[in-house]
Amino acid sequence: MPTKPNPTSQARTTRVVSPEVFKQVYDSPLSLPGSHRWVTKDEDVRTIEKLLAIPEKSIGAPLWVSGDTRHCPKCGRETSWLDIVSSALTKTHQKALLVEVILGERKYVNVEVPRAIADLSCYNCKAPIVDLRSFKCHNWAYAHEALLQVIEEISA
């Protein structure tokens, strides 16, 4: 059972949730903070598959992102999951973990304070991306704490 986050904490909290709770968070447009919400282009999804060394068309579900700016301030490329994956592979995570998150069976919800995702850079030009706020795929979504609490209560 996940622990309740400290309301004064500035840290991101990740919770494993039931498929029902996950679906409600994933389907809610309010689950993505930021001024803009968009789906990663298919071309970028295919590049992600190559980076992760998984078969083409393995990723079929939409890969959503949101933020206050939709394009890289330096080269103008549309920000996407490709930036998240390439940055994570460079700085934070192993391929196996990213593949498990994107294609695995467990459902995760991140509950976060409204801040940008740290340590992201543009896949194309490597410029810092400072205002991408969230991302979600069929197994990983973001929620505002109040929304998650309401959904958990009505699902109980």
E strands, the chain, where? 13-16, 36-39, 64-67, 108-111, 120-121, 128-129, 132-136, 140-143
The span from the CA of 43 to the CA of 126, in Å, is 18
pLDDT for 112 equals: 54
Instruction: Kindly calculate the radius of gyration of the chain based on its CA atoms and give it in whole angstroms.
Output: 15
pLDDT at 87: 93
Render the burial of 98-118: b for 16+ CB within 10 Å, e for the rest.
bbebbbeeebbbbbbeeebbe
Instruction: Report helix, strand or coil for 85.
Output: helix
Task: Express each pLDDT in 67-126 by its tens digit.
Answer: 888 999 999 999 999 998 999 898 777 888 788 777 777 665 555 555 677 889 999 999
Per-residue pLDDT of 34-72, as tens digits, reads 788 888 999 999 999 999 988 888 887 778 888 888 999
Separation CA 149–CA 15 (nearest Å):
12
pTM of the shown model: 0.69
